[in-house]
Structure 1
Amino acid sequence: MSVAVFSFIGMKLKSCNFIDCNLEEADFTECNLAEANFDRAVLNRTVFFHTNLEQADFSTAIGYEIDPRHNSLRKA
């Protein structure tokens, strides 16, 4: 699956699976991504701002930058 330059702003995506996805330049501002799985996802230039990423799995994702001052990352 490939999603490029897509906006998920404000969406509730708890426990969502983003497996083998190209999410380059996607915008996850103010999303609930708690417990989301980003298995082998490409996240170059993806925006996470005021996003709930608690318990999200980025262990095999690549290219992401997440500012802990502006996102909830407990147990991510």
Structure 2
Amino acid sequence: MFWWLRSIVVSIIAAFFLIWGAQEMFRAYALTHPGEFLASFFSSSFIILISAALLFGFVWRMVIKLKKQKSTEGL
């Protein structure tokens, strides 16, 4: 039970950072200074990349564990 709760909470946190990174990228396009745009754009891209990879990994683990539980219950 603790494993599921931890995985769901961490997935929600990763989804929050994914949304925040996307919002930061949209805000980057409103900047007028090229240096600030580049810094904001690349930092938001990095935030999106890391949070999407973590979210995918956590969801993948939950799906695998759910499939294993269903296969053991069917026996």
TM-score scaled by length of structure 2: 0.19
**Structure holding more helix per residue:** 2
TM-score scaled by length of structure 1: 0.19
Max Rg structure: 2
Give the number of the structure with larger relative contact order, counting CA–CA contacts within 8 Å between residues 6 or more apart.
2
